[in-house]
A and B are shown apart, each in its own frame.
Chain A
Amino acid sequence: MSSPAEVPTSASLRLRLAALVRAAALATPGVVGLDAGRTGMRMTASDGLRVDGVVCAALPSGHYRASVHLVAAMVPLRPLADAVRARVQRDAASAGLEARLGPVDVAVEDVRAPAEAHP
Chain B
Amino acid sequence: MILLLRGLLRLVGFLALIALALLGLAFALAALLGDKLGVRLYGSGVSRWLERLEGDGTQALEAVIGGGMVLLGLLLLIGALAPRRERRAVLEVGEHGTLDARRRALTQMFTALAERTRGVTRAKAKLRLGRRPRHGRVVLRAERPRTAESTSVREAVRSEVGELGDAFGLKIRVQAPLGRRGRREE
Q: Which residues of B contact A114 (CB under 8 A)?
A: none
Q: Encode B102-137 as 1/0 by CB contact (under 8 A) with A.
A: 101110110010000000000000000000000000
Interface of A is mostly: strand
Is the Cβ of A85 less than 8 Å from the Cβ of B96? Answer: yes
Q: How far is the CB of B157 from chain A (nearest CB, A)?
A: 16
Q: How far is the CB of B2 from chain A (nearest CB, A)?
A: 15
**Any A CB within 8 A of the CB of B182:** no
Is the Cβ of A109 less than 8 Å from the Cβ of B105? Answer: yes
**Any B CB within 8 A of the CB of A74:** yes
Sorting the interface of chain A by its residue count into under 10, 10 to 19, 20 to 34 or 35 or more gives 10 to 19
A residues 95-112 touching B (CB-CB < 8 Å): 103-111
Q: Which residues of B contact A78 (CB under 8 A)?
A: 91-92, 99, 167
Is the Cβ of B92 less than 8 Å from the Cβ of A74? Answer: no
Q: Chain A residue with minimal CB distance to B102?
A: A109
Q: How far is the CB of A17 from chain B (nearest CB, A)?
A: 14
Q: Which positions in B face A, CB cutoff 8 Å? A: 88, 91-92, 95-102, 104-106, 108-109, 112, 167
- CB-based closest 3 A-B pairs: A103-B97, A108-B101, A81-B99
